[in-house]
Amino acid sequence: MADFDHRVELRAPDISPYRLGNTGVPYATTLDSGRAGPHLLITALVHGNELCGAIALDFLFRADLQPVRGKLTLAFANVAAYAQFDPQRPTTSRFVDEDMNRLWNADLLDGDRHSVELERARVLRPLVEQADVLLDIHSMQDRCTPLMLCGALDKGRRLARELGFPAHIVADSGHDAGQRLRDYAGFADPRSRKTALLIECGQHWERASARVAIESTVRLLHQLQMVGPQFAADRLSPDRSQMLIEVTDAVTVNSDRFRFTRTYRSLEVIPRAGTLIATDAGREIRTQYDNCVLIMPSRRLARGQTAVRLGHYHTPPAMADAAD
Ligand SMILES: [Zn+2]
């Protein structure tokens, strides 16, 4: 199914009221409680056509949220791509020049290469470096149950468990094409106390993705004790059991002839080891173990990009509550 087969149920919010902000960085606002506590950064629109994060930040602004401890920074990331969002052609505004979520390493940010996304990443970088905790809000090409991407380290896993939402956690280390914001510097350093989560809230334009995005922000604010109990109590669904998927491989496209053997759904489980799932010129991509889970098979099969991630459930789903 092509992207354009998905209905655009969400409306892109007007973010122009947030352009000025108060941080010196356009489209970034810090709400400072004046009390000690963590600095939480919530980012939306790292991909310009992923509306749910913008809706969640707009919700927090409209709720007139004031943290009761620490600092909360709300940032709209790829505003240039978002400005090009067109519900008639919703796939075209993911980025302007390049994927903003593959640029997050110091060499690239310190380097002299130029693109719309690199310039914006350089402007956002000081805010990212100040943050103790990051929640980066995304959505997916296809309809799929929401996924919390907690990174490869225990600290991300722990925070995802503490949130108790959504039901699926994916432990992974990213893409060959470049480092994600959630893996930048201290977030991916086991010696650092900084922690980051990336949530994939659902299909880019489905209504439910906005609810998931909002709930993820409220839960994290609640978990960090940055909001009063009533703010969260009024807005949360009951906790649910969670399952953790351990990613073992990210399959990267090496040729112009990458083909999946059929259309796969995200979180589809392939029962038998050795099953051929894709070919890439002469290369065969087969599952390496039984009950291999396919995570977000992509339709952007360009050379150098991730085609799919492969993983396995950390514990049998029925026992997921009993183990970490
Ligand atoms: Zn995204």
- Taking alpha carbons only, the member of 46, 95, 70, 61 closest to residue 200 is 46
Which tokens in the block code for residue 103?
């640029």
Q: What angle do CA 136, 139, 140 make, to 5 degrees?
A: 135
pLDDT digits (tens, 9 = 90+) for 247-271: 999 999 999 999 999 999 999 999 9
pLDDT digits (tens, 9 = 90+) for 96-129: 999 999 999 999 999 999 999 999 999 999 999 9
Q: What angle do CA 165, 166, 167 make, to 5 degrees?
A: 110
Q: Check residue 291 and give its pLDDT.
A: 97
Round to whole Å and give the CA distance between 167 and 46: 23
285 C-alpha to ligand 1 centroid (Å): 25
Q: Where are the beta strands (DSSP E) in the chain?
A: 28-32, 39-44, 71-76, 133-140, 147-149, 168-171, 195-203, 243-252, 258-260, 268-270, 276-280, 283-286, 292-295, 306-313
Q: Check residue 300 and give its pLDDT.
A: 84
46 C-alpha to ligand 1 centroid (Å): 6
The answer to whether the beta carbons of residues 77 and 122 sit under 8 Å apart is: no
322 C-alpha to ligand 1 centroid (Å): 31
143 C-alpha to ligand 1 centroid (Å): 14
The yes-or-no verdict on residue 240 having pLDDT over 80 is no
Q: Check residue 5 and give its pLDDT.
A: 65
The answer to whether the beta carbons of residues 186 and 133 sit under 8 Å apart is: no
pLDDT digits (tens, 9 = 90+) for 162-217: 999 999 999 998 888 899 999 999 999 999 999 999 999 999 999 999 999 999 99
308 C-alpha to ligand 1 centroid (Å): 14
Cis-peptide into 26, omega within 30 deg: no
136 C-alpha to ligand 1 centroid (Å): 9
The yes-or-no verdict on residue 84 having pLDDT over 50 is yes
pLDDT digits (tens, 9 = 90+) for 121-169: 999 999 999 999 999 999 999 889 999 999 999 999 999 999 999 999 9
141 C-alpha to ligand 1 centroid (Å): 9
Q: What is the mean pLDDT of the chain?
A: 93
State what percent of residues in the chain have pLDDT above 70.
95
44 C-alpha to ligand 1 centroid (Å): 9
Round to whole Å and give the CA distance between 184 and 161: 21
272 C-alpha to ligand 1 centroid (Å): 30
Residue pointed to by tokens 């998931």: 212
Render 113-180 in DSSP notation, one character per residue: ---HHHHHHHHHHHHHHH-SEEEEEEEESS----EEE--SSHHHHHHHHHHT-SSEEEE---BTTBB-
187 C-alpha to ligand 1 centroid (Å): 18
Average pLDDT over residues 225-243: 85
140 C-alpha to ligand 1 centroid (Å): 7
Q: Check residue 1 and give its pLDDT.
A: 40
The answer to whether the beta carbons of residues 227 and 78 sit under 8 Å apart is: no
Average pLDDT over residues 211-226: 96
Confidence band of 2 (pLDDT split at 50, 70, 90): very low
